[in-house]
Structure 1
Amino acid sequence: MLREQTAASPERRAAALAGLKRYQDAVRPAATRPMPARFRKGAARLRDYGGDGRPVVFVPSLINPPAVLDLTAERSIVRWIARQGFRAWLLDWGTPNAAMRNLDVADHVDRVLLPLIAKLPEPPLLVGYCLGGTMALAAAARGNVAGLATIAAPWNFAGYGDAARHEMAALWAAARPTCEALGLVPMEVLQSGFWKLDPARTIGKYEAFATMPDAEAATFVALEDWANAGAPLTLAAGRELFEDFLRDDLPGQDRWRVGGERITPGALRCPAIEFVSLSDRIVPAASAAGLSERRDSGAGHVGMVVGSRARSGLWEPLADWLRGVAAST
């Protein structure tokens, strides 16, 4: 990919490699201790971030760790919400093993997410990010939920466009035999798929990092460490993501079933809102679910959550919406 993107510019290639080396050599702070896990289901944990008021459960994607929602003390939407009159919780999906190979995305909703939120003292407000938003929507359709907010969450997978879906299909065809042998889909398979969605940006960000001021470098490293990390998916979840979602668009056609029930966004029984990025290359705006309320953002897939304008662009509007729903239920 580096050769393709910099074929006409050896200077750009050298800059990207210099940025990569700077990233590899960067000093990392000591890992922070995870917040306490109050409830458990299989490998998953529901972590308690404190606060008082209606419970708000943040549901991250199965892909990449949940840390993007709690990146640093200053860039943590979960910790900030806990100070806004809510009891904040963060779902940690944990690390699956090969024995869980048949647990697909729908099963993660039905057998993990719904049982965990049922342990809370009152119906929570769900906030789902990326694929976690897709799953939170299904949970809201199936369970007792006070309200639903999704952030950069795909639903109409045809919105990725034919070219991207073809790339993903080819990637899965090549990786599937190894994944079947492992019973898991390694993070590297998924990460290479993300790179293919926007290869120019992948190379460009390392070019820029080569000369990035030190004051900004720590955040870049933290985000890249998050993006390059993550537990594998179960085999069934990977198959469902690549085949039922990206290839066949079952959610977008109202054909995705969770616990035997067909999930239809328009039939949600609770208040719902989606926050959509208009510049997102990971989850294009065209893939949004079309919920009853929508707020658009100019920030990207990650920037809308942890960027310099995340507080005004997402955190505050989200808190206002959550307060309104909590007051009416």
Structure 2
Amino acid sequence: MAMAGIARLTGGVSPATLALSAMDWWIHLAVAPGKQLQLAEKAHRKLIRWIDYAARCAREGEPCPAIEPLPQDHRFDDPAWSQMPYGAISQMFLLTQQWWHAATTGVPGVSRHHEDIVSFMARQMLDVLAPSNFIASNPILQQRLIETGGRCLADGWQYFIEDFERQARGEPPVGAERFPVGEKVAVTPGKVIYRNDLIELIQYAPTTAEVRPEPVLIVPAWIMKYYILDLSPENSLVRWLTGQGFTVFMISWRNPDAEDRNTDMADYLRMGPLAALDAVCDITGADAVHAAGYCLGGTLLSIAAAELAHRDDRRLCTVTLFAAQTDLSEPGELGLFIDEAQVNLLGGATWSQGYLDSSQMGGAFQILRSNDLVWSRVLKTYLMGEREEMTDLMAWNSDGTRLPHAMHSEYLQRLYLDDELAKGRFEVDGHIVTLAAVRQPLFVVGTERDHVAPWRSVHRIHLLSDAEITFVLTSGGHNAGIVSEPGHNGRHYRQYCRPAGEPPIPPDDWEVRAAIHEGSWWPAWGDWLANFSGAPVPPLPLGNAKQGYAAICDAPGTYVKQR
């Protein structure tokens, strides 16, 4: 109860972790005179660079900058930022930001985890103080005020009140109502042909005269609704797959509530992919199934594949993982929120209410990209008075699900902190399962700008399995990189296949070997699936009443609409 109370006050962030990290950094910096001298020298050099830049501005007008922003930082792209005094302001900020990075990293004796947290928190504070966030120091915002006669601030205040009220009432953001589930998104025709207390299984209607005999079973992440893979018709992976001659099945997770507090990882495994696999094989009569998992669904699918290998069950023909981590020793910045103190705090919060709410998770994801997801929105919407147009992907992103207390706590402890799956210590029903036993060909997709499952972390599956691995690195982030339909402008990907039995390939070496292709990676995956499929056969009807799988209702079903 005490932990639950603290979690409510701190937004789920452990004050103990923050305090320990700050003390570790400060104490070691205090007894490191070499580092102090280095920082003093850096501060002096950066001041000289800034003075030189300001002097050249006075002589030349718009000289070359003293420092360039990081590639992902677009706050100062507008030419107005190169004019005085805004050029001097932005350059001072960027130089200060670089100095703080040096100050919070490389301090002898500081633990890596604490260093990452201190560096991250310093970036958060600098993001708050960025000159782009203030009227007095932002030339683009000043021009907008002049053009609108100050109306933009009044509009922004109205947008702020509207968003605040919607959030307080637990309503989706403005514009999400334009994408109702089953009407604008998740509209691929199909039937729910199986249901238990955790999942609905959707079978989609075939769209080709013949289909491959091996169906495709997709296991989405239970942290969000499944229809990220079935958005609007033009960017639906499900619709595209059916158009390639595959029979597609999709798991739709139930949105748990407080009564499901004791649902654990074993339940998700047994009632999720394993139950769905039984149903798919019973309905189609197929001996082999292509299985694909996205994000957490991919992690769960990899555990299911290891369990089936332990049973010598060979019903999986291939395994595909979309932005899914199997080795969490290097989980990226999301790992900043996961340590013993943090897990203890979150355990108290989920124990108190029986689940972790999607809004609690969404806040952590936004903080990881505060420039893009927080402050750029504050600037554009609330100061410049320009509300971003809602898209199907944005609407989906606001439609989260809850995580039961038992499953969430077990996932954080066993997979994040203890990394049991990668270390070969993960138990299912009293026995150990390992990915080394998985022999099926693997198709693994990472995304270049993934802040949830960094591609180098996803790539570590090469260390866990000596099966054939076709690894694809696609442009985009955790969601947009996967929703990468053919014809989408600006898309590219890298691909390389490591044959079975060969040694692991380090990520840097893989980048050198991988061929670069323009366009979507979906056709490459479709060709890969076809290579491991039999000759086309006539499609089967939806469901199989003789086997007890009569159609229950139309897709997208009922679970996806639960709030």
Aligned to 2:396: 226
SS of residue matched to 2:415 = helix
Task: Give 1:113-124 correspondences, 5 Å limit.
Answer: 113-120=273-280, 121-122=285-286, 123-124=288-289
**CA RMSD of superposed structures (Å):** 3.3
Give the distance between the partners of 1:199 and 1:86, measured in 2 at CA: 40
Shift of 1:295: 1.4
Aligned to 2:268: 108
Give the distance between the partners of 2:429 and 2:534, measured in 1 at CA: 31
Shift of 1:84: 0.5
Gaps of 5+ in 2: 1-120, 142-151, 164-171, 309-314, 493-517, 536-563
Give the distance between the partners of 1:166 and 1:25, measured in 2 at CA: 31
Residue 137 to residue 40, structure 1, CA distance change in 2 (3 Å):
same
Give the distance between the partners of 2:180 and 2:253, measured in 1 at CA: 18
Give the distance between the partners of 2:394 and 2:175, measured in 1 at CA: 11
Note if 1:257 corresponds to 2:406.
no
Aligned to 2:63: none
Shift of 1:165: 2.3
Q: Is the 8 A contact 1:304 1:313 kept in 2?
A: no
Aligned to 1:152: 323
Q: Is the 8 A contact 2:242 2:248 kept in 1?
A: yes
Give the distance between the partners of 1:175 and 1:42, measured in 2 at CA: 25
Deviates more, 1:310-319 or 1:104-113: 310-319
Alpha-carbon deviations, 1:238-273, whole Å to 9, x = none? 102222222222222222223334332232132212
Give, as a single letter, the amino acid of the residue that structure 2 aligns with 1:298.
S
Task: Give 1:30-179 correspondences, 5 Å limit.
Answer: 31-33=180-182, 35-51=190-206, 52-53=211-212, 54-120=214-280, 121-122=285-286, 123-143=288-308, 144-161=315-332, 164-169=334-339, 171-179=342-350
Residue 209 to residue 181, structure 1, CA distance change in 2 (3 Å):
same
Gaps of 5+ in 1: none
Give the distance between the partners of 1:201 and 1:29, measured in 2 at CA: 23
Q: Is the 8 A contact 1:278 1:284 kept in 2?
A: yes
Shift of 1:137: 1.3
Deviates more, 1:296-305 or 1:168-177: 168-177
Give the distance between the partners of 1:66 and 1:180, measured in 2 at CA: 26
Shift of 1:3: 7.3
Shift of 1:190: 1.8
Give the distance between the partners of 1:322 and 1:299, measured in 2 at CA: 23
Residue 217 to residue 240, structure 1, CA distance change in 2 (3 Å):
same
Q: Is the 8 A contact 1:110 1:258 kept in 2?
A: no
Q: Is the 8 A contact 1:95 1:232 kept in 2?
A: yes
Shift of 1:204: 5.4
Aligned to 2:128: 6
Give, as a single letter, the amino acid of the residue that structure 2 aligns with 1:313.
S
Shift of 1:322: 0.9
Shift of 1:128: 0.6
Give the distance between the partners of 2:443 and 2:179, measured in 1 at CA: 36
Deviates more, 1:230-239 or 1:49-58: 49-58
Give the distance between the partners of 1:150 and 1:40, measured in 2 at CA: 24
Shift of 1:233: 0.8
TM-score for both structures, normalised by structure 1: 0.85
Residue 164 to residue 43, structure 1, CA distance change in 2 (3 Å):
closer
Give the distance between the partners of 2:229 and 2:379, measured in 1 at CA: 24
Q: How many residues align?
A: 324
Note if 1:196 corresponds to 2:367.
yes
Give, as a single letter, the amino acid of the residue that structure 2 aligns with 1:294.
F
Alpha-carbon deviations, 1:124-151, whole Å to 9, x = none? 2111111111111122222321110001
Task: Give 1:166-315 correspondences, 5 Å limit.
Answer: 166-169=336-339, 171-203=342-374, 206=377, 210=381, 217-219=389-391, 222-288=392-458, 289-290=461-462, 292-307=469-484, 308=488, 309=491, 312-315=519-522
